[in-house]
Structure 1
Amino acid sequence: MNKLTLKISIVFVLLHLVCTVKAQKWNSTWPVLKTYEGKHLAEVAMPLGGIGTGTVSIGGKGDLRDWEIMNRGAIGYLPAFKLVAPTIANGPFFALYYKKGNDNAKIKVLEGPIDIKDYYGDWGANAVNSGFPRFEKATFAAAYPMAQINFEHRDVPIDIRLEAFNPLVVGDADRSGIPVAILRYVMTNNTDESVETSLVGMVPNYIGTDGWSGEPNGNYNEYRENGKLKGLYMYSEGVDKKDINWGTMALTTLSDGEASYRTSWAKLGWNWTFREFWDDFIADGKITDHPERSSSENAKETEFIGDNLGNSTTKIKTPPATLAVKQTLQPGESKTVTYMLTWHFPNRTAWNNMLHHHGTAIVGNYYATQYENAWEVAEKTAANFEMLEKETINFVSALANSDIPDVLKEAGLFNLNNLRSQTVFRTADGLPFGWEGTGSIFGTKIGAEKASGWGHGTCFHVWNYESTIPFLFGDLSTKFREVEFMHATNEQGAQSHRVNLPISNAKGFRHWAADGQMGTLIKMYRDWQLSGDDDKLRSMWPNIKKAMSFAWTGIWDTNKDGVMEGSQHNTMDINYVGPNPQMAGWYLGALKASAEMASYLGDKKFEKECNDLYKRGRKWIDTNIFNGDYYEHHIPEEASKVAQLGKGCLVDQLVGQYLAHTTGLGYVLDQDNVRSTLKSIMKYNYVDNFNEHFNTFRSFAIGDEAGLVMASYPKEGTLLDFPFPYYTELMTGFEYSTAAHMIYEGQVENGLKIFSDIRNRYDGYKRNPFNEGEYGHRYARAMAAWAGILAYTGFQYSAVNQTMKFNSNEGQYFWSNGYQYGTVKLENQSDNIKVTLSSHNADIMLKSFTLNGYGILKFKKAKTFEKGKEVSFIISHNDNEAGFLTDPKIK
């Protein structure tokens, strides 16, 4: 081929691409952190729902899946409806009708191609709604809790994009706890002719069953209007109002177009029900109701037409609520259709996971006390829609547009969805609780068990790791501490590390965990510092003292020397015997935190007692169990070595130090030893190819994937015959906490590598990027990921002392203390750094501002930084008396 021919070929190919491939267009006001397409859409499923409300997930191709809006985890559950055997089921869908000029009208389901794994089942394709024509390509762009999906098809005359989200407002758990999934379809006519369009959505009214138990009974749908809001209210007359699966749902729209609806579909056999819908909708883009009961004199009951097998029915068990909105788009015009799916299921029971049945007493749902039913949810959301969206965008944009590495932002933000999954719930009194993780309706082949929730009781030693809630929802985090100290701590100071429900029986689980209990003390100090709530601290102080004292009056620090040597139950599901680094760090952190709180409250005796134990314990640990590379577990000679760590290098050995850094407690172990240990963990525990790694238990990394394993035994002859059970595994919560700690210690490259390895495993193709599991899905410990943001920015805040701290690296960074959030911009100017600080959602007061390792600005009097205003000031190197600029730049 000569050069001229080659150039002509290239030009032809480029022109062909321009003519046939539509450019990706996103909502420019919505931030994007990650984009998925092609094979990487297969596992993508982003949950839509609020804190403690349950969720439904938007799939990578645009479908709604994993319907978990009732009171149990149910990943994999998809409600559907059908009338008679052998009819196939129709599941929830949204579809587009379009008609250009004199062309024939067409319909396409608003989904991308079916994944190849669903091509093959007992009845052909194993995907619900597989008979619909669909779009040729979908591209999914996300910055949780916002997802955009662009749908592409060469023959569709309009561009269409889905914008899906649930409100997330920093510091406001109520407005972040709305039971709603918002789906906005944006249509643009890029042709030179008008295009007639209609969007239709269908959701089966499946009240009465949640994928695990129950049956629909007497379910009906009712069309309603209230001003701009119109749609279908779903209820049941037959399901017991005390049943866990009783409640209400609604499918509504806020759009101005011409609405039509169906409270139910025609009662026809075989595939005729679906065919009748198709013929009705494609005729003019509107749908005709087939009510199951007369709502007016003109409404007609539909007579059932059976099949040749003699099947008959008089009632659709899960009547499909169907809502269409018709509009015409002129050339160049864009219009939207916004749907809201809302729900209201008040009858949550106590730790009912369908496996161990920890209780059947109704404890209720906090969100259900805020609304009368699902229709009221829609009304209240509609009334505040613009503000809820704006505040969600503002928060996510502040983070996404900062100079924090993308992988840290992605890990922190995407794992935030765990807080708003069925992993977490709030009982009617507003107190929060959490499973370790949730279950799928498919269960596990390797365990041969099914459960809707795994690990009941807000297991303290699991929940200790998360660093997300305190820095985004401070009041909610403090309520977790209220459960731990005001309800789960007994008179002797022992905490039930799994909380029973109802709350009156919180102490009924009579087992104590050393790491769990010590961690709650560090978290109590952290949450008090972030909130500045002295009254809350004082009210809990008697039980805080008891919980701390239990460490040396109970079974752990048996000789009260600042070192635990007794039987120490912990998150490895074993009881360590003898001094070990994991419990040592927790204990030292708890002692230091308790001493600080005692000092503030004027309890000098207890302050001295805790400080004395802390100093003695720290010196002994650093002197005796650090081997030059890392800290070792010393098992007493007379003790059994079964299910112990021994001389292994544990990924989690510095967890207490990790949490101490996030709380501003400083070092609880020798700094040099800590840094050497982290380097050793990276050296000995990092696996770059799991195809070559022997694992005796669960596999969370496979093939050529990489990450940090739980323990290694680099010293010859040190591997125990029966080490603790998880030693060959890898789990993201432990990896995140360790990687964040590496970043704190200046080992940024290693820390970012671990974060990247994790997110590469959850890439949308191999695993769902919104579902990091461990003991169940959407595991609570994975919310340690937020600590990566804290470590990289060096952000620390104290409402008690009214101080804020950051690292001194040039750039713009996000910050949040659980109540206020904003940005800080750092600019190098000769020997000074110009700081521009802003709070985005509320005023914040500071007495000093520190750039770590550089300098500190002390204000002559407390300075109020007003919401929405940028204030600039200068900090000179090692200058303790730096002041504001003469003319502060205020916007």
Structure 2
Amino acid sequence: MVEYGFQVKLNHKFPESWDANIRPRLHQVWGFLVLGLRYLVWYVGMWFHGKKPFIDQLHPVTGKQIYGVPLGGIGSGTMGRGFRGEFTRFQMRPGLYDYGTADADQFIVSVAGRAGGRARYQQVLSACDAPADRLSAWRWAFPGDLASYRGLYPRSWTVFTLPGEDLQLTVRQVSPVIPHNYKDTSLPCSVFVWDIENTGDEQKDVSVTFTFENGTGCKNSSAECSVAPFGSEQHSAGGVCGMAIDQEIAGVPCRYALAARLKDDVAVSRGSFDPTGNGLDLWNELAQTGSLTLQTDKAHGPDVGVAVSARVTVPAGERRSLEMSLVWHMPEVHFLGGERRVSRYYTKWFETGRQGADQLSRYALDCFSSWESDIEAWQRPVLTDPDLPDWYKSAIFNELYYISDGGSLWIRMPGEDQLPETDPRREYGRFGYLESHEYIMYNTYDVHFYSSAALVQLWPQLQLSLQYDMAEFVAQEDPETRTMLYSGQTAPRKRANTVPHDVGNPGMPGEMPFCNINSYQIHDVSAWKDLNLKFVLQVYRDLRVTGDRRYLRHMWPTCCAVMNVARAWDTDGDGMIENSGMPDQTYDTWVMEGVSAYCGGLWIAALYTMREMAREQALAEQVDLYDAMLTKAQKVYIDKLWTGSYYRFDSSASGHAQCIMADQLCGHWYLRSSDVTEPVFSHVETALRTVYEHNVLLFRDGRQGAVNGMMPDGQVNEHTMQSEETWTGVTYALAAAMLHEGMVEEGFRTAEGIYRTVYERIGQGFETPEALYPEKHYRAVGYMRPLSIWAMQHAWEQRRRAAGDAV
């Protein structure tokens, strides 16, 4: 078992309990009043027509302080696991979450003194209390102080010390999330490996039984389910014995499959049970024999349960192991209210019928040891690096949970086999993930700009696929007019030569992500100043990472098109774009006016990348054009924003224009993430030190990351709600910028405040929020942007390479 990760006892209580019930300050209310009224009218209309809002502000999700490492690969649905043993937070329908806990989804241990003897100890291996109205015959609430949990995504370990039995059980949870492995990483499965150590002087007969029920802990399964065995209890060693549940989840066919590996010393049995009853029959059968009898009288109905039990004799002083798998096979994606169906990416290798689940079960049990070897090889350089802090070794991998549990969707669209061979979507399909568990929009691009650091380093072909989608969408127009909730003005859903905000809402009946884009309706995103620039910057970054010049040739016309639109944002012709005085960028309640540090910095960085991409293609005229524009923009940026110690928020005459913005050097950070060493921006270290001294050290004693806005006098900028928030992903990006500039201690301390707050103080691990308030509240649990922590890893590795080259 590895040394690092998120570590708690099963009876752990977090010291603080925060919630998502945020309220604006009195002086902030006026800015939201009209928006709130329009939103309420729109919300009622959505509810009346059975549509799910892309943001449900009336029912924010409050975390439960229970979560651990989730189950499953990328893009095929996930199941959450609580560190106490719950199966909870099911994301089986693309981008839509069920927060119920499936009570019958458990592991039960039975211990007898001899083979075939009656159990003298039997216990549900979970610290959870008994359900209120079922399974009362089971022994619940394992003593939490006798069990410990360690999570290091995509694996976890739970160690149980059985009281009075001289037995220690360790269950290792393994999901196939492996960098640069696209086949196995797409699979809807996990494996549980049980190591049983007998520390006493008496031989023990031990069985572990895996129980499971239909549905997702909520009433969304079909009225009629059925169970079926697969494999055989009589197979030779190496075979698989399992039970399956066939059902529909929200009208979509799904097969759950539980299986155990047959070995020479392991006997496997299976059965079914009623998960709504008291569970006495199953409990007594295990207690009497340590095994199950296959029955058919409980094989159909609205509520069914299956169980697979593996039994092994463990001699005194020795250790034995059991291997079990869980598969959820939903090969087709059905979007709400439509007839269009698409296949999940993993169906390239596994059958779409029920037998596909059986194949996946065998494959998972055959391959999990190689998965673990690959995971260990990937994580080892970080975990064994003596110069990296221990908390970071947990954070860098555990924040990656979102790549699978962020509503991720990996599909094969019709006609992909007709795409050019150079198009990554032909081979790797289409990838999407949500902005947040509760902001249900796929590939929200202003946010993906930050989180793409993880994707491009670990699964670069998915990043390229996403970019090819965006390039295609840029040229599209959608004339459907909608009323913007903030301004009340009408605007077309999508204008040509603008980068979309998102690629669709999976909860919108009659619409389909990747076909109906820009589900966000608060502002007219075609006028946003950051989206076009962020596309250009990602193209350049991806080029530096992959070295794919074909990618550059494909993206260059789109880069030129979006930059031509962006040039019109320079309203006074001085070479620098201006913000409109309306919310027109990712900080969508924090208004920028005139030249802003944030968008102005993105503009400078985009001009630099355009010049360099033109240079790589020997386009001399374009090189000269963008070089001249860059020189002018750099001068204006300094003249209008530099204060002598930082870049002011914007050039307006407003009271908060002098604000020190944590994200003021976002453009510089992105260039450094693209391995640019040329000094495109001036006064970088001075500005970063000002941010560190004010936004980090003067905020919550330096223990909660970087507040978005701080005034020069050391007061938090309370001009708007977002200015007084700490954005977890922005803090990680800021820390990465510090590492690039040699501010190593400052960078790690800045990021540490986020990890300590989220994982240790308030119990929001594996559902990291977008925003933390100074105290008691957070916003948007389970958010995309914290994946930017992988930019820190890139910065660290870049420093190591530079040090090696110097030697």
TM-score (norm 2): 0.78
The alpha-carbon deviation at position 746 of structure 1 amounts to 2.2
2:458 to 472, 475, 482: 472
Change (3 A) 1:636 1:326: closer
2:183 corresponding residue in structure 1 = 174
Structure 2 Cα separation of the partners of residues 320 and 157 of structure 1: 31
Structure 2 Cα separation of the partners of residues 92 and 394 of structure 1: 32
Structure 1 Cα separation of the partners of residues 463 and 539 of structure 2: 9
8 Å CA contact retained: 2:406, 2:783: no
Matched, 1:197 2:206: yes
2:709 corresponding residue in structure 1 = 711
Structure 2 Cα separation of the partners of residues 657 and 622 of structure 1: 14
Matched, 1:384 2:384: no
The alpha-carbon deviation at position 383 of structure 1 amounts to 3.5
8 Å CA contact retained: 1:412, 1:468: no
Matched, 1:583 2:599: yes
Q: How does 1:196-215 map to 2 (within 5 A)?
A: 196-206=205-215, 211=218, 213=220, 215=222
2:385 to 399, 402, 405: 402
Q: How does 1:310-329 map to 2 (within 5 A)?
A: 315-329=300-314
Structure 1 Cα separation of the partners of residues 124 and 138 of structure 2: 11
1:858 corresponding residue in structure 2 = none
The alpha-carbon deviation at position 336 of structure 1 amounts to 0.8
Q: Helix, strand or coil for the counterpart of 1:77?
A: strand
Matched, 1:183 2:192: yes
Structure 2 Cα separation of the partners of residues 127 and 291 of structure 1: 23
2:297 corresponding residue in structure 1 = 292
The alpha-carbon deviation at position 342 of structure 1 amounts to 0.8
Structure 2 Cα separation of the partners of residues 478 and 66 of structure 1: 30
Q: Helix, strand or coil for the counterpart of 1:631?
A: coil
Change (3 A) 1:344 1:39: same
1:622 corresponding residue in structure 2 = 638
8 Å CA contact retained: 1:73, 1:423: yes
Change (3 A) 1:516 1:667: farther
Structure 2 Cα separation of the partners of residues 483 and 424 of structure 1: 16
8 Å CA contact retained: 1:595, 1:610: yes
1:731 to 727, 732, 749: 727
1:367 corresponding residue in structure 2 = 346
Code of the residue aligned with 2:443 in structure 1: it is: T
Code of the residue aligned with 1:280 in structure 2: it is: E
Structure 2 Cα separation of the partners of residues 547 and 266 of structure 1: 59
Q: Helix, strand or coil for the counterpart of 1:155?
A: coil
Change (3 A) 1:31 1:366: farther
Q: Deviations over 1:584-620 (max 9, x none)?
A: 1111111111111111112222222222111210121
Q: Helix, strand or coil for the counterpart of 2:615?
A: helix
The alpha-carbon deviation at position 487 of structure 1 amounts to 2.8
Structure 2 Cα separation of the partners of residues 380 and 329 of structure 1: 27
Structure 2 Cα separation of the partners of residues 129 and 456 of structure 1: 41
Matched, 1:283 2:306: no
Structure 2 Cα separation of the partners of residues 73 and 764 of structure 1: 27
1:538 corresponding residue in structure 2 = 553
Code of the residue aligned with 2:231 in structure 1: it is: R
Change (3 A) 1:428 1:612: same
Structure 2 Cα separation of the partners of residues 664 and 157 of structure 1: 55
Structure 1 unaligned regions, length at least 5: 1-26, 80-89, 295-314, 440-453, 693-703, 796-804, 809-834, 836-850, 856-874, 876-891
The alpha-carbon deviation at position 485 of structure 1 amounts to 1.3
Q: Helix, strand or coil for the counterpart of 2:638?
A: helix
Q: Helix, strand or coil for the counterpart of 2:253?
A: coil
Compare 457-466 and 557-566 and name the one that shifted more: 557-566
Compare 466-475 and 93-102 and name the one that shifted more: 93-102
Code of the residue aligned with 2:689 in structure 1: it is: K
Code of the residue aligned with 1:436 in structure 2: it is: E
The alpha-carbon deviation at position 786 of structure 1 amounts to 1.3
1:751 to 743, 747, 751: 747
Structure 1 Cα separation of the partners of residues 90 and 347 of structure 2: 18
Structure 2 Cα separation of the partners of residues 190 and 428 of structure 1: 51
1:18 corresponding residue in structure 2 = none
Code of the residue aligned with 1:384 in structure 2: it is: C
8 Å CA contact retained: 1:221, 1:233: yes
Matched, 1:265 2:265: no
Matched, 1:39 2:39: no
Change (3 A) 1:645 1:217: farther
Q: Helix, strand or coil for the counterpart of 1:341?
A: strand
Structure 2 Cα separation of the partners of residues 751 and 381 of structure 1: 40
Code of the residue aligned with 1:738 in structure 2: it is: L
8 Å CA contact retained: 2:470, 2:499: yes
Structure 2 Cα separation of the partners of residues 582 and 369 of structure 1: 43
Q: Helix, strand or coil for the counterpart of 1:288?
A: coil
Structure 2 Cα separation of the partners of residues 475 and 663 of structure 1: 17
Code of the residue aligned with 1:476 in structure 2: it is: L
Q: Deviations over 1:432-478 (max 9, x none)?
A: 11211114xxxxxxxxxxxxxx1413111111112111111111111
Compare 606-615 and 400-409 and name the one that shifted more: 400-409
The alpha-carbon deviation at position 381 of structure 1 amounts to 2.6
Change (3 A) 1:94 1:634: closer
2:420 corresponding residue in structure 1 = none
Change (3 A) 1:112 1:427: closer
Structure with larger Rg: 1
8 Å CA contact retained: 2:649, 2:660: no
Compare 492-501 and 506-515 and name the one that shifted more: 506-515
Change (3 A) 1:432 1:619: same
The alpha-carbon deviation at position 75 of structure 1 amounts to 5.9
Structure 2 Cα separation of the partners of residues 333 and 724 of structure 1: 62
Matched, 1:222 2:240: no
1:486 corresponding residue in structure 2 = 472
8 Å CA contact retained: 1:486, 1:540: no
8 Å CA contact retained: 1:593, 1:665: no
Q: Helix, strand or coil for the counterpart of 1:622?
A: helix
The alpha-carbon deviation at position 629 of structure 1 amounts to 2.1
2:611 corresponding residue in structure 1 = 595
Q: Helix, strand or coil for the counterpart of 2:450?
A: coil
Q: Helix, strand or coil for the counterpart of 1:290?
A: coil
Matched, 1:76 2:76: no
Q: Which has the higher contact order (CA 8 A, sep 6+)?
A: 2
Q: Deviations over 1:661-704 (max 9, x none)?
A: 11112356534x222222222222236675x9xxxxxxxxxxx9
- Identity percentage over the alignment? 19
Compare 412-421 and 771-780 and name the one that shifted more: 771-780
8 Å CA contact retained: 1:657, 1:667: no
Change (3 A) 1:497 1:428: same
TM-score (norm 1): 0.71
Code of the residue aligned with 2:324 in structure 1: it is: Y
2:79 corresponding residue in structure 1 = 56
Q: Compute the RMSD of aligned alpha carbons.
A: 3.3
The alpha-carbon deviation at position 166 of structure 1 amounts to 0.9
Structure 1 Cα separation of the partners of residues 716 and 120 of structure 2: 70
Change (3 A) 1:73 1:765: farther
